[in-house]
Structure 1
Amino acid sequence: MCDCRKAFRDYKANHERRITKAFSELSESQRELLKALYENGMSKQEYADAIGVSPSAISHRLETIRKKLKKVLR
């Protein structure tokens, strides 16, 4: 096997481990928010209505998640 293929596989495996670890650092509610928006295709407004908060609260929560993931993935 070509060394570049092995290097790519190693890089990909390491990347997946880092992503899994980063997501494990999120709270259950943070993971639920990401799942609702990015897997289930809900809008911020729809999710905010479903849990009884404002869309700006959802935006703030997403910013908190982004900062947390950025810190963990450094």
Structure 2
Amino acid sequence: MTTPDLLLLELRDQIVELQTRLAIGQEDLIEMACDAGRAQGEIIALQDLVAELRMDRDAWKLQAEHLAFSMAPRRSAS
């Protein structure tokens, strides 16, 4: 084989290697995008849960304050 032929074969091998690496990178990117989508869904669900728990906490706090106020000893006006 001549030198130009060897160079073409070497270039072809490099192109095949780069195409393979690109395909692997694309598959990895798709997998990461799917993982990110699932994580985003979990984040939204957890944010909703936190909001619900905060409302429950506030309702319990308000109820406790009302009970504490209603059970407090009354002072007579002197």
Q: TM-score range by the shorter chain?
A: 0.3 to 0.5
> TM-score w.r.t. structure 2 length?
0.34
User: Whose RCO is larger (CA < 8 A, sep 6+)?
Assistant: 1
Q: Which has the larger radius of gyration?
A: 2
* Larger helix percent: 2
